[in-house]
């Protein structure tokens, strides 16, 4: 509409933009607030310097992606179970690394779903069950009985599941040898190798296209841990 400056609607709208106050609920105020929310140029600037349709599309896309990236990132900082989860640059257009390299194979998608649950803290381990039912449920790992079964114990330490780890972890360490001995970073790499906590691996892993391989190995590792855990616990019952 603002590209047709002789148009009567254009004249009405630009007048409204000039006179209405913030609390009004008219269309123009909604427009103004939306532009502000996504940090886009004001309606005045757009009228005086109207972008082409293509430019405008690109501006909106960039602005909304930035808005959601910032908001999601803030939200994640407040939740400790989500501390390993990264937000990609364009969350509205680009799938998360977990799903990005899965392809169309349904079995790979199933593995990715297990990984996503572990990454977001929605995979139920003994420590999660204990948290919600402290009097009746003990957090101790029901397989090895060594310590509380939290995410780190399940992925890195549980001795009952060491076979799956011995099969997959060496492949990961071969790709990213810098991570050896850094327990917290190894956990991060397995859960989400694109997280900003691992920026120091930028050269070796993010830029050199290792992410799809890392994702595949960690997807296989977590899935096998999950299957072994499920089978072990079923046998105990
Ligand atoms: Zn255990």
Full residue range of the structural domain in which residue 39 is found: 8-80
Q: How far is the CA of 143 from the centre of ligand 1 (A)?
A: 5
Centre of ligand 1 from the C-alpha of residue 134, in Å:
19
**Based on the domain organization, do 126 and 168 belong to the same domain?**
yes
Question: 40-63 burial by CB neighbour count: b if 16+ within 10 A, else e?
Answer: beebeebbeeebeeeebeeeeeeb
Token pair, residue 54, equals 């293509």
* Total number of domains in the chain: 2
Distance 161 CA to ligand 1 centre (A): 8
> Do 175 and 113 fall into the same domain?
yes
Burial of 107 (0-12, 13-18, 19+ CB in 10 A): exposed
What pTM did the predictor assign?
0.75
Q: What is the pLDDT of residue 127?
A: 92
Same-domain pairing of 101 and 74 = no
Ligand 1 centre distance from Cα of residue 229 (Å): 9
208 C-alpha to ligand 1 centroid (Å): 35
From first to last of its 237 residues, the chain has per-residue pLDDT tens of 666 667 777 777 776 666 655 555 677 788 888 888 888 888 888 888 888 888 888 888 888 888 888 877 777 777 777 888 887 777 777 778 888 888 888 899 999 999 999 998 899 999 988 988 888 889 999 999 999 999 999 999 999 999 999 999 999 999 888 888 889 999 999 999 888 888 777 666 655 678 889 999 999 999 999 999 999 999 987
Q: How far is CA 122 from the centre of its chain?
A: 14
Judgement on whether residues 217 and 124 belong to the same structural domain of the protein: yes
- Between the CA of 50 and the centroid of ligand 1 the distance, in Å, is 62
Task: State in Å: Cα 104 to ligand 1 middle.
Answer: 33
Distance CA 50, CA 166 (A): 60
If DSSP states are collapsed to H, E and C, what string results for 48-68?
A: HCCCCHHHHHHHHHHHHHHHH
């Amino acid at each position: 509409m603002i590209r047709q400056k002789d148009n009567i609607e254009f004249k009405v709208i630009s007048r409204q933009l000039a006179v209405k106050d913030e609390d009004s609920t008219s269309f123009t105020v909604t427009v103004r607030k939306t532009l502000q929310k996504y940090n886009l140029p004001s309606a005045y600037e757009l009228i005086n310097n109207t972008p082409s349709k293509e430019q405008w599309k690109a501006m909106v896309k960039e602005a909304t992606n930035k808005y959601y990236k910032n908001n999601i990132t803030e939200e994640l900082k407040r939740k400790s179970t989500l501390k390993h989860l990264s937000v990609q640059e364009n969350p509205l257009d680009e799938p998360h690394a977990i799903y990005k390299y899965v392809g169309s194979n349904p079995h790979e998608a199933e593995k990715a779903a297990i990984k996503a649950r572990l990454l977001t803290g929605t995979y139920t381990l003994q420590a999660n069950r204990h948290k919600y039912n402290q009097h009746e449920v003990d957090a101790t790992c029901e397989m090895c009985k060594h310590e509380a079964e939290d995410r780190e114990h399940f992925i890195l330490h549980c001795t009952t599941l060491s076979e799956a780890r011995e099969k997959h972890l060496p492949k990961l360490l071969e790709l990213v040898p810098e991570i050896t001995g850094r327990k917290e970073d190894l956990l991060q790499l397995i859960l989400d190798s694109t997280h900003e906590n691992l920026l120091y691996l930028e050269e070796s892993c993010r830029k050199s296209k290792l992410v799809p391989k890392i994702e595949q190995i960690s997807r296989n590792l977590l899935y096998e841990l999950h299957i072994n855990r499920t089978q072990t616990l079923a046998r105990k019952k």
